[in-house]
Amino acid sequence: MIATAGLVDFHCHLDLYPDHAAAVQDAEASGVFTLAVTTTPRAWPRNHELAQRTKHVRAALGLHPQLVAERENEIELWDRYLAETRYVGEVGLDAGPRFFKSLDAQKRVFQHVLQRCAQAGDKIITVHSIRSAKMVLDLVEAHLPSERGKIVLHWFTGTKSEAKRALDLGCYFSINAAMLGNERHASMVECIPLERMLTETDGPFTRTGERPSQPVDVALVVKLLSQLRCMSSEETAKVIRDNLRTILL
């Protein structure tokens, strides 16, 4: 397995591990650029505080679509914190059966997020789109011009045609090992240029072996992507690093 320093985990819930501070310290020690996403604005201050002490960890300001039913009123708190960060997420839509009832509220929140990010400019947004790729892309197209911010579609499971539409809109994709272990999703990933990809773990919601995934486990994602593309892991890791630099410019 390749060295972890310089790898990218663009979607990880560091605050949902048993010891948040230790998870941040481990990510920092690994040298993996780690985007610590949040699911509620109330989690922002602590995530921001811990990330500020590091070189490699950044915190993102989120309001997760699965929590919108109970927490839509926290959008005012989200607004208050937005100026403190360039990174936004986890946000988006979830039209799965457990969360379909709140879809109208989710759309209101996501539209609001996109509009505020467009007004602010230069935000990087990691987006959830379970069973809702078309709706997500419709809202992105309507409310976030590509020159006003960047979208990274997290664990995207839409169709190949939806992936092409996302590419046309300027979106990036963060890829994890679970996607590459699924034949249909891996086939969709093959259609995405490597230059539009980042890597992620979505830890601790995914597992590597018998334990929750950690940022260092993006090394496995790089290995699997390399096998899919018939490239060396070192070549793949360099492209992913270059993609991150492009997004941050």
User: What's the maximum distance between 2 C-alpha atoms anywhere in the chain?
Assistant: 48
Q: How many residues does the chain have?
A: 249
Radius of gyration of the chain from its Cα atoms, rounded to whole angstroms: 17
Binding residue numbers: 11, 13, 90, 128, 154, 202
For residues 127 and 174, what is the distance between their CA atoms, to the nearest angstrom? Answer: 10
Bridge partners, residue 125, by sequence: 88, 151
Residues 6+ apart with CB under 8 A from 71: 40, 63
Kindly report the number of other CB atoms within 10 A of residue 106's CB atom.
28
Per the annotation, where are the binding residues for a divalent metal cation?
A: 11, 13, 90, 128, 154, 202
Q: Which two tokens stand for residue 108?
A: 């209101």
Helices (H), 82-147: 103-120, 133-143
